[in-house]
Amino acid sequence: MLSIKNLHARVEEKEILKGLSLEVKPGEVHAIMGPNGSGKSTLASVLAGREDFEVTEGSVTFNGNDLLEMAAEERAREGVFLAFQYPVEIPGVSNMNFLKAAIGEIRKHKGLDPLAAKDFLQLVKEKSKLVELDGQLTNRSVNEGFSGGEKKRNEIFQMAMLEPTLCILDETDSGLDIDALRIVSNGVNALRSPERSFVVITHYQRLLDHIVPDFVHVLYKGRIVKSGTKELALELEERGYDWIKEEVESV
Amino acid sequence: MTNEELTVTSKKESFIGNVQSHISALQSESKIHADALKALENLDFPTTRVEDWKYTRTARIANEQWHVANNNATLDITPYLIPNLDATVLVFVNGFYNEALSSKTEEGIVMNLNQASNQSFEYKHIFTALNVAYSTAAINLRLGKNVVAEKPIHFLHIITEEKTLAQASIFIHAEKSSSLQLVESFVSTVEGRAFSNRLLNIHVEENAHIHLDKIQLEGDNQFLLNDDNIHIEANGNFTINTLTIDGGWVRNGLNIIVDGENVEANLNGFYMPRGKQHVDNHTLVDHRKAHSNSNELYKGILNDQGTGVFNGKVYVQVDAQKTNAFQSNANVLLSNDAQMNTKPELEIYADDVKCSHGTTTGQMDDTALFYLKTRGIGDTNARKLLAAAFINDVVNKVKHEAIHQYVVNELVKRELLFV
pLDDT of residue A36: 87
B202 and B99 part of one domain: yes
A221/chain B closest Cα distance in angstroms: 26
* B109-147 tens-digit pLDDT: 999 887 656 666 788 899 999 999 888 999 999 999 999
Q: Which regions of B272-367 does DSSP assign to beta strands (E)?
A: 278-287, 293-302, 307-316, 324-333, 339-348, 354-363
Residue A26 has pLDDT above 70, yes or no: yes
Residue-level pLDDT at B114: 73
In terms of Cβ atoms closer than 10 Å to its own Cβ (0-12, 13-18, 19+), residue A40 is: buried
Rounded to whole angstroms, how far apart are CA atoms A49 and A59?
A: 13
Mean pLDDT of chain A: 93
pLDDT level of residue B357 (50, 70, 90 thresholds): very high
Nearest-angstrom CA–CA distance, B5 and B91:
39
The confidence band for B409, taking pLDDT boundaries of 50, 70 and 90, is: very high
Coil, strand or helix: which one is B116? coil
A93 vs B385: CB contact, 8 Å cut-off? yes
DSSP bridge partners of B227: B199, B253
Residue B111, CA distances (Å) to A7, B4, B42, B135, B389 in order = 77, 45, 33, 17, 40
If asked whether residues B335 and B402 sit together in one domain, one would say: no
The long-range contacts involving B51-54, CB below 8 angstroms and separated by at least 24 positions, are B52/B124, B52/B125, B52/B282, B52/B311, B53/B125, B54/B341
pLDDT-derived band at B416 (thresholds 50, 70, 90) equals confident
Q: Which residues of B touch A168 (CB under 8 A)?
A: none
Residue B172 pLDDT level (bands cut at 50, 70, 90): very high
Instruction: Sort strands A2-11 and A223-228 into parallel, antiparallel or unpaired.
Output: unpaired
Single out the residue in B365, B392, B410 at which a domain terminates: B365
Percent of chain A with pLDDT over 90: 80
pLDDT band for A195, please (50, 70, 90 cuts). very high
Q: Give the DSSP H or E segment for B153.
A: strand B153-159
Q: At what angle do helices A95-109 and A148-162 cross, to 10 degrees?
A: 30
> Could you tell me if B207 and B176 are in contact, meaning their C-beta atoms sit under 8 angstroms apart?
yes
Q: Are B287 and B392 in the same domain?
A: no
Q: Which residue has the higher pLDDT, B33 or B1?
A: B33
Confidence of residue A190 (pLDDT cuts 50, 70, 90): very high
Query: Which residues of chain B are within 8 Å of residue A167 when distances are taken between CB atoms?
Result: none
Residue A147 has pLDDT above 70, yes or no: yes
Q: Which residues of A touch B (CB under 8 A)?
A: 48-51, 71-73, 75-77, 81-82, 84, 87-88, 90-93, 97-99, 101-103, 105-106, 109, 141-142, 158, 162
Same domain, B158 and B185: yes
Q: Give B396 to chain A, closest Cα distance, Å.
A: 11
For B7, other C-beta atoms within 10 Å of its C-beta total: 10
Res. B1 pLDDT band, cuts 50 70 90: very low
3-state class of B364 per DSSP? coil
Gap between the terminal Cα atoms of chain B:
58
CA distance B150 to B179: 9
* C-alpha span between B13 and B7 (Å, rounded): 10
CB contact under 8 A, A50 and B370: yes
Label residue A85 by pLDDT band (50, 70, 90).
very high
State pTM to two decimals: 0.85
Dihedral sign of CA atoms A162, A163, A164, A168 in order:
positive
Beta-carbon-side half-sphere exposure of residue B144 (alpha carbons within 13 Å): 8
B283 beta partners: B254, B312
Alpha helices in chain A (DSSP H): 40-48, 72-78, 95-109, 117-130, 135-139, 148-162, 178-191, 206-210, 230-239, 242-250
Question: Are B220 and B231 within one domain?
Answer: yes
Determine whether the interchain pair A73/B389 forms a contact, defined as Cβ–Cβ distance below 8 Å.
no
Q: Residue A8: which H helix or E strand, with range?
A: strand A2-11
Q: Is A48 strand, coil or helix?
A: helix
Q: Which residue has the higher pLDDT, A36 or A136?
A: A36
Count of residues making up chain A: 251
Tell me, yes or no, whether B195 and B229 share the same domain. Answer: yes
**0.90 surpassed by complex ipTM:** yes
Mean pLDDT of A71-98: 94
What does the alpha-carbon distance between residue B158 and residue B188 come to, in Å, rounded to a whole number? Answer: 5
- Residues in A closer than 8 angstroms to B385, CB to CB, are 90, 93, 97-98, 101
Distance CA B160, CA A45 (A): 54
CB contact under 8 A, A88 and B368: yes
The answer, yes or no, to whether residue B68 has pLDDT greater than 90, is no
- Which pLDDT tens digit goes with each residue over B7-49? 555 788 888 888 888 776 555 567 788 888 889 999 999 999 9
Task: Determine whether the interchain pair A141/B371 forms a contact, defined as Cβ–Cβ distance below 8 Å.
Answer: no
Q: Is residue B347 located within the same domain as residue B416?
A: no
- Distance between CA atoms of residues B169 and B200, nearest Å: 6
The distance of B182 to chain A (nearest Cα, Å) reads 27
Assess whether pLDDT exceeds 50 at residue A59.
yes
A250: confidence class by pLDDT, cuts 50, 70, 90: confident
Confidence of residue B388 (pLDDT cuts 50, 70, 90): confident
Non-local (6+) Cβ contacts of B238 within 8 A are: B202, B204, B209, B210, B211, B212, B230, B232, B256, B263, B264, B265, B266
Q: Do A72 and B370 touch (CB under 8 A)?
A: yes
Pairing of strands B209-217, B179-188: parallel
Rounded-to-integer distance, Cα B377 and Cα A76, Å = 8
Q: Which residues of chain A neighbour B373 with C-beta distances below 8 Å?
A: 49, 71-73, 76
| pLDDT tens column, B80-103 | 999 999 999 999 999 999 999 999
The residue ranking higher by pLDDT, A228 or B72, is: A228
Reduced to 3 states, what is the DSSP secondary structure of residue B209? strand
Residues B136 and B46 in one domain: yes
Return all residues near A39 (Cβ < 8 A) that are at least 6 apart: A16, A17, A18, A20, A219, A221, A222
pLDDT for the residue B256:
98
Predicted local confidence at residue B147, as pLDDT: 97
Backbone angles phi, psi at B21, to 5 degrees: -70, -15
Residues B416 and B324 in one domain: no
Task: Tell me: do B204 and B287 sit in the same domain.
Answer: yes
Weakest mean pLDDT among A51-60, B3-12, B157-166: B3-12
Contact state of A90 with B386 under an 8 Å Cβ cutoff: yes
Domain boundaries of chain A, sorted by first residue? 2-250
> What gap in Å lies between CA B392 and CA B127, rounded to an integer?
33
Of A48, A84, A93, the CB nearest to B389: A93
Residue B2: the pLDDT is 47
Q: Which carries the bigger pLDDT value, residue B8 or residue B374?
A: B374
- The parent domain of residue B191 ranges over 3-365
Residues of chain B positioned with their CB less than 8 A from the CB of A141: 389
Give the pLDDT score at B307. Answer: 98
Regarding whether B373 and B321 lie in a shared domain, the answer is no
In this prediction, residue B210 has a pLDDT band, given cuts at 50, 70 and 90, of very high
Q: Number of residue pairs across A and B with CB atoms under 8 Å?
A: 77
Which helix (H) or strand (E) segment holds residue B401: the answer is helix B401-413
Q: Are residues B347 and B374 in the same domain?
A: no
Say how far residue A142 (Cα) sits from the centre of its chain. 18
For the A2-250 domain, the top CATH level (class) is alpha beta
Chain B nearest-CA residue for A71: B373
Task: Provide, rounded to the nearest whole percent, the portion of chain B with pLDDT above 90.
Answer: 78
